[in-house]
Amino acid sequence: MFNLRGNCRTSGEQRRKESGNVFGEGSRTPISITILVRKPKKASDELAAILYKDIGDYLTREDKLKTIKDFGSMLSASIGLSSIAPNQAGDWINQRDGLFETFIPISQNKKYDNKAQAFFVTDTNGIQTNRDSWVYNFSLELLSKNVETSLQFYAAELKRFNAKQFANSKDSVADFINSDPRQFSWTRSTKGYIARNIEIPFCGDHFRIAHYRPFCKTNLYFDKYYNEYPNQLPKFFPTPQSKNLVICLPGVGTKKGFMPFIVDTIPDVQLQFNGQCFPLYYYEKNDRNALSLFDNGKDEFVRHDAITDFILQRAREEYGPRTTKEDVFYYVYGILHAKEYRERFAADLQKSLPRLPLVEDVKMFRAFVTAGKKLAALHINYESIEPHPSVIIENDSDAPRVQQMRFGKSNGEEDKSIILFSDSIRIINIPLRAYDWQVNGKSPIEWVMERYAVTVNKDSQIRNDPNEWCKEIGQPRYILELIGRIVNVSIQTLDLIAALPSLSFKTSSS
């Protein structure tokens, strides 16, 4: 098997590694040349030998075609085929590292078990609404109108379904309902609610701020009926006043690279690829015997630490009795950024949730805790970070409006040091190094450019205008200045990652 790469369904650094597809625009999938050789009957009891070659990273289509031509034959000794065999986990290539299994799981399947031998007592996927255009919008006024009118339509369909003439109908809900996507977005759950005669009330106090994609906040209608899968997030953010920090990681199977990202608002499931979220706290309904968050005794929810007692005890044994659960939380965020960890265990992190070592000495532990706190502060407070000093806004405006940002050009080629904010406004002198930090397959700059654009959903026909967000928060220059701030955040993040302690892994960390 000769792996020619070229997977167009990847992004960021991985996309650049895959590079050109030998069929050009004719295929988006990776291509390989595979020759199957039938064994003679006398060798039928022998296992097959599998010979493999990866063509390599960053090769253009022309480079790959030349390589194939130069080899001339798959059987040529110069091609360098290697015999491969699966490991115990069934990996043929990109094999997992056995040392990874000796580390401590970041969480376990059983939720809210404080005795779990893991870092966190719970985790969850980000919110999966299955009707994003209806429940997310930069305009709170439009979002409220969209939700209310769509739920009025749902109520009318529920009433119509339960009307006397349809009571004994053999038709399924799917056959009966009006499936016009401009009226409502039907899902498995809402069809089930119709069948079970469940009303979905409109609640004017269910609007929240959410993190839809990296560095893109927006309004969300947060409701257990209208969001298909709220998951555990109502326990992480039960009220608008509930404070929390959540480390968001890519889910199993990501092809967009591994990089953690922290938020203090409700995260969408695709904030990271099929994102998995690990909180600092979780909340439960208060009762008379529970210790209240505050002293007034009137609070509805009580807060619990999401870091396990098990890992706190282990950390205190290693690093001293003053170690806190908050220290452990920031240690996790710090070490997940470590280059040696992400590179050595890249295959493991694509196929399972992280397992983490406890580093060998207190000095290194404290260094990761400090770095984790700095990274978290940088990523949480990105909206108030000063713009990078090199970034210049040309033809500035007090009330700029964005339609769709795009990169400028120099000598006919795309130039990422220039962003065309609008027809008249340009942002220049963007350091190219800022693009080296990537979250969920793109640099934060590219996420901002992609998400802060005026769009109309093709199914619902709902308009989403980021300029309305600027109006709502009273900052007309918010998006324009966000580019410079994100550049600074990216550069500082890269500097902090580069300054992390160098890791040496030991099996005894299990």
Q: What is the pLDDT of residues 158-207, one digit of tens each?
A: 999 888 555 555 567 888 899 999 999 999 999 999 988 999 999 999 99
Structural domain containing residue 422? 392-498
Backbone angle region of 253, left / alpha / beta, with phi > 0 → left and psi within -120 to 50 → alpha: left
Whether 419 is in a domain gets the answer: yes
Q: Are strands 301-305 and 266-267 parallel, antiparallel or unpaired?
A: unpaired
Find out whether 302 and 291 touch, Cβ atoms under 8 Å.
yes
Q: Which of 313, 238, 325, 224 is nearest to 282 (CA)?
A: 238
C-alpha torsion 23→24→29→31, nearest 10: 40
Structure tokens at 89: 């986990």
Decide if 76 is inside a domain. Answer: yes
CB atoms closer than 10 angstroms to residue 138: 25
DSSP for 64-80, please give it: HHHHHHHH--TT-GGG-
Q: Quick check: 300 and 285 in contact, CB under 8 A?
A: yes
Q: Collapse the DSSP code of 242 into the 3-class scheme (helix H, G, I; strand E, B; otherwise coil) and give the result.
A: coil
- Please give the helix or strand (H or E) that residue 463 lies within, else none: strand 463-464
DSSP letters spanning 307-352: B-HHHHHHHHHHH-TT--HHHHHHHHHHHHT-HHHHHHTHHHHHHS
3-state secondary structure of 491: helix
Instruction: For residue 500, give the amino acid letter.
Output: L
Q: Which runs of E-coded beta strand occur in 392-451?
A: 392-394, 406-410, 413-420, 426-428
Residue 386 pLDDT > 60:
yes
**pLDDT over 80 (residue 507):** no
Write the pLDDT tens digit of every residue in 390-439. 999 999 999 999 999 999 999 999 999 999 999 999 999 999 999 999 99
Give the HSE-up count for residue 436: Cα atoms under 13 Å, Cβ half-sphere. Answer: 13
Residue 472 lies in a domain: yes
Last residue of one domain, picked from the residues 41, 57, 83? 83
Which of 35, 65, 83 terminates a domain? The answer is 83
Residues in contact with 495: Cβ distance below 8 Å, sequence separation at least 6, in sequence order: none
Q: Is residue 438 part of a domain?
A: yes
Six-digit token string for 313: 């005890």
What is the per-residue pLDDT across 467-485, written as a single tens digit (0 to 9) for each?
999 999 999 999 999 999 9
Burial letters 431-468, b for 16+ CB under 10 A, else e: beebbebbbbbbbbbbbbbebbbeeeeeebebbbbbbb
Number of H-type helices and E-type strands within the chain: 15, 22
DSSP state of 436: G
Q: Do residues 249 and 272 make contact, with C-beta atoms less than 8 angstroms apart?
A: yes
How many CB atoms lie under 10 A from the CB of residue 178?
11
Residue whose entry in the numeric block shows the structure tokens 């977005």: 185
pLDDT value of position 321? 96
Collect all residues with Cβ–Cβ distance below 8 Å to 453 and sequence separation of at least 6: 402, 403, 404, 405, 466
| Domain assignment present for 492 | yes
pTM, to two decimals: 0.88
Domain closes at, from 44, 59, 83: 83
> Does residue 149 sit in helix, strand or coil?
helix
pLDDT at 297 over 60: no
Q: Do 212 and 271 contact (CB within 8 A), yes or no? A: yes
Flag whether 276 is in a domain. Answer: no
Tell how strand 207-213 and strand 266-267 pair up. parallel
Between CA 309 and CA 322 the distance in angstroms is: 14
State the total domains in the chain. 2
User: Does residue 229 form part of some domain?
Assistant: no
**What six digits make up the tokens of 38?**
């039938």
Kindly tell me if the per-residue pLDDT of 25 is higher than 90: no
Residue 481 within any structural domain of the chain: yes
Residue type for position 309: D
Maximum C-alpha span of the chain: 84
pLDDT tens-digit map of 195-240: 889 999 999 999 999 999 999 999 999 999 999 999 999 999 999 9
pLDDT score at 224: 93
Q: Predicted confidence band at 287 (pLDDT cuts at 50, 70, 90)?
A: low
Burial (CB < 10 A; 0-12, 13-18, 19+), residue 79, is: middle
pLDDT level of residue 15 (50, 70, 90 thresholds): confident
Residues 400/421, Cβ–Cβ less than 8 Å:
yes
Distance CA 268, CA 285 (A): 24
Q: Are 130 and 379 in contact (CB under 8 A)?
A: no
